[in-house]
Structure 1
């Protein structure tokens, strides 16, 4: 790790000792909360590292300030300091990710999908065991939630994560170290850098239409479903017998039809896999439907697609 990475790791460890917690909401909720008159500047650590509010040095623990400074994660504007990172809690782990707003092309996102993805993994792995040498891959790991959650559930497995966004892979490495989970990290698209077969693959790909084409948000064609299909096409042939691909994504429902479900079913048949497909939430990100790109979409549903190779 670089000195800046070590500083962020030290920050996470100190925050863990202090029992820091922050549940990160959707960007829309975040924007509404910080627009309130009493949210113009930070009054607590959660305001600084959760809500990304500007702050004065007197508000923050000097040791936390030192770690942020060593990590080059502070910016000064209009006489106030801003943290360039947020820290969120999920179960008993802490995750560093990008500060709000996440407008940069390589922003590293963490939010409600992260919590739901973790819950899906726990539910699907509850009765699953993997011995030493079995291979797990978190594809497009983002901040590392999938790799960390499954690494703690299946400590004997060999866990790898892939990510096209170098900034995300950096944070994922730091988050895994803070969680005491051993992982290997591969910078590349989908399963580039992963050789051989896979016992369990996980993915929480972007699934929205994003005019800015931000890596964490833009799901490509098919109203944001393209990346989910591309991942399935690459991963399914690489699954071992009884191997599993746990996909958490979103689907644009048009005139009552779930086109993503149809495409994933076809891929399952092509690669001799069974597919369990269900809606986890029938209606999310409703504000997106005001965009012209969603003019024909009735709703965006969160889905779980569980592939298993026969």
Structure 2
């Protein structure tokens, strides 16, 4: 596997990231609800600076940006115009010191490339799990979106091969550009899961969708088990793809049902036992997306928790002499 070549539009976005890096650009993506609230403020009706344009997704006048920045966005095909105002189709946010391109607000399209507070928590989880290790071998980020998992794991470490899979071509494109800016050669594979990944991975990462989404958007809908089905399916695939001693790091959500039952934890325990793997599992945040409890799919749930799971495959036993 080798990384694909960049198009002229891709090169324009890569140049944009380099320019933003040189200028010290910084933006942290909030939740969609917080973003919506901020955009209702009078001062956000028309952009006043670059953060308003590429962070808050505000419309802007052409003279707000200098010629180079405006030309890069035009060259990337990232601008739309309504009357005298322009709007970027992309946002740029900083996470763990790295810049990431992702979709503009609101992320309502089926092929939106999402990055938000879960991405920051996911990155923190990966960093804590990888710890001080300096060599990671072959790393696969399944459903990797903008590349947060892959690039966080590889940051400051040696990776033999860095692979990202996603069903969304837009995500694959932005992930490759984000990786190039971070100095990481990324192999992007269009796949809904781990089918396109090679066997024998040393580290597999996943931040799957875990909410029951009525619109069934790929980046948000987690399927059955109150949204945990995709997480369980990917875990099962990952166990089969890991090299001996390899690890699968899963950051996801689990609906905690009446009486405190966590059906995802139960299912992962059974999977790990069947595969002869070790499982470490804990809640990272006890209550997120509380508004989803009004969804009929969650009538028997007390809360939705963010959880982190690490599944380690046993090493092959050496033959006895």
* TM-score, shorter chain, exceeding 0.5: yes
Kept in 2: contact 1:228–1:249 (CA 8 A): yes
Offset, 1:126:
1.0
Give distance in 1, aligned partners of 2:154 and 2:215. 33
The correspondence for 1:71, drawn from 73, 76, 87, is 76
* Equivalenced residues, count: 308
Matches within 5 A, 1:263-302: 263-302=267-306
Q: Secondary structure at the match of 1:276?
A: strand
Cα RMSD (Å): 1.2
Residue in 1 aligned with 2:215? Answer: 212
Kept in 2: contact 1:274–1:308 (CA 8 A): yes
Give distance in 1, aligned partners of 2:69 and 2:179. 20
Residue in 1 aligned with 2:308? Answer: 304
Matches within 5 A, 1:177-196: 177-196=180-199
Residue in 2 aligned with 1:51? Answer: 56
Deviations 1:55-76 (A, max 9, x none): 1112222211110000110011
The correspondence for 2:25, drawn from 7, 20, 32, is 20
Q: Secondary structure at the match of 1:146?
A: helix
Matches within 5 A, 1:1-310: 1-130=6-135, 134-255=137-258, 256-310=260-314
Q: Secondary structure at the match of 1:275?
A: strand
Kept in 2: contact 1:151–1:182 (CA 8 A): no
Kept in 1: contact 2:138–2:159 (CA 8 A): no
Offset, 1:194:
1.8
Give the 4+ runs in structure 1 shifted more than 3 A: none
- Specify every segment of 5 or more residues in structure 1 that has no aligned partner in the other structure, as ranges: none
Give distance in 1, aligned partners of 2:110 and 2:46. 26
Q: Secondary structure at the match of 1:191?
A: coil
Offset, 1:127:
3.3
- Specify every segment of 5 or more residues in structure 2 that has no aligned partner in the other structure, as ranges: 1-5, 315-321
Offset, 1:293:
2.4
Kept in 1: contact 2:252–2:308 (CA 8 A): yes
